[in-house]
Each structure stands twice: as C-alpha cells, then as structure tokens.
Homo-oligomer: A and B are copies of this chain.
Amino acid sequence: MSIDVGARLRSVRLIYGLSQRELARRAGVTNGLISLIEQNRVSPSVGSLKKVLDGVPMSLAEFFTIDVDTAPQVFYGDDDLVEIGTADVSLRLVAAQRSARQLTILRERYAPGSATGDDALSHRGEEGGVVVRGRIELTVGGSVRVLGPGEAYYFSSAIPHRFRNVGREPCEIISASAPPTF
C-alpha cells in the first residue's frame, strides 16, 4: 500500500474534531477498528471504510481525492495576504498559494452577538474572506480563532464552520465562495 489510508483517516477525523470513539459511534463501528486503521495495522474493506466515512460524513471519492499532505492553510494574517495589484491599484490576494480557485463575492455584516446559527454549516465548495470592521470568531473543524480587521480566512466548505460576532460593535466581512450557494 503506497497510499497511507491511516494518516488520511486520522487527518480527516482530527479536522472534524472527533475522538476515535465518537467517530466509531457515528459510523456504527468499534473504536478499536478506527485505531487499527489509523495505525495501518489493517487495510479496511471498502465497505468498512465507507461506513467510517459516512460518520463524518465524507464520500470515498473525496477521501481519496483530498490533498492531506499540503495541510491547507486556514487562517491568514495581515502579512499572509499577497499583493498582486499595482502602485495605483492595490490588490491583496487571499490564499494565493491555492490553485484552481473559482469564487464569487459577498459582503457580510454581523450584529454584536449574532452568528450563522447554533450548529456549524457544512456544504459543497470553498469559501474565504477578509474582515473589514469589528471582530469575528470563526470555527472551522476543530480550530477556533478570533479574526480582526485586515485578517482573513480560506477553507473547504465541507468542513463544519460557524461565524459568531463576539465583540460589541458590528462586524463586516468581504467574503467569496464557490460554487455559488446563493
């Protein structure tokens, strides 16, 4: 086996912030199996692997397609934005490193205390954005961070995510997503 199924599964599980037991419960398998697979002590049957991924959920195609080596950068500081404009027109590009981006733009405003919902969102495509004003708490998979003006984000929308304005002033974000969900 040249392909490291164990490492892939562990990455996926940790991105979703699940323990072996929790994933096993959702998938309807035992925690021991998750452990054995992640250690590459067994090569799971396709049926078993599908059951496990159903607990995330993630398709087999996605599982074997996702690039787990190049751990996708999720958070971008002010200095992480790439300037691609001219002296007259400043264009700072978010996630310039990632290829095959196809995005559409949104402008979002969050009142103090508001959020995108009590539960995290999860859908097809990718999304990214920049905070223009205020502060926003962003949860992506198992990672949480509060972003302020000038900071940015970019992640796969398949990973459960949630925005919440934890500050006292309104928050404004310039965001982009693809394919268009609205």
The CA of A61 and the CA of B45, in the complex, are separated in Å by: 16
The CA of A132 and the CA of B130, in the complex, are separated in Å by: 53
Please tell me the number of chain A residues within 8 Å of chain B, measured between CB atoms: 19
Stretch at the interface among A46-54, A87-95, A118-126, A138-146: A46-54
Within 8 Å of chain B (Cβ to Cβ): is A65?
Answer: yes
Chain B: minimal CB distance from A179 (Å): 11
Within 8 Å of chain B (Cβ to Cβ): is A104?
Answer: no
Identify the interface centre among A43, A48, A63: most chain B CB within 10 Å of its CB.
A43
Q: Is the interface of A mostly helix, strand, loop or mixed?
A: helix
Q: A47 — which chain B residues lie within 8 A by C-beta?
A: 1, 43
- Closest B-chain residue to A49, C-beta based? B46
Chain B: minimal CB distance from A4 (Å): 11
Within 8 Å of chain B (Cβ to Cβ): is A44?
Answer: yes
Chain B: minimal CB distance from A125 (Å): 14
Q: Which A48-100 residues have a C-beta within 8 angstroms of B?
A: 48-50, 59-61, 63-65
- Closest B-chain residue to A5, C-beta based? B46
27 contacts between A and B (CB under 8 A): A1-B46, A1-B47, A1-B50, A2-B50, A3-B46, A3-B50, A3-B60, A5-B46, A43-B45, A43-B46, A43-B47, A43-B48, A44-B45, A44-B46, A45-B45, A45-B46, A46-B46, A46-B49, A59-B64, A60-B60, A60-B64, A61-B61, A61-B64, A61-B65, A63-B64, A64-B64, A65-B65
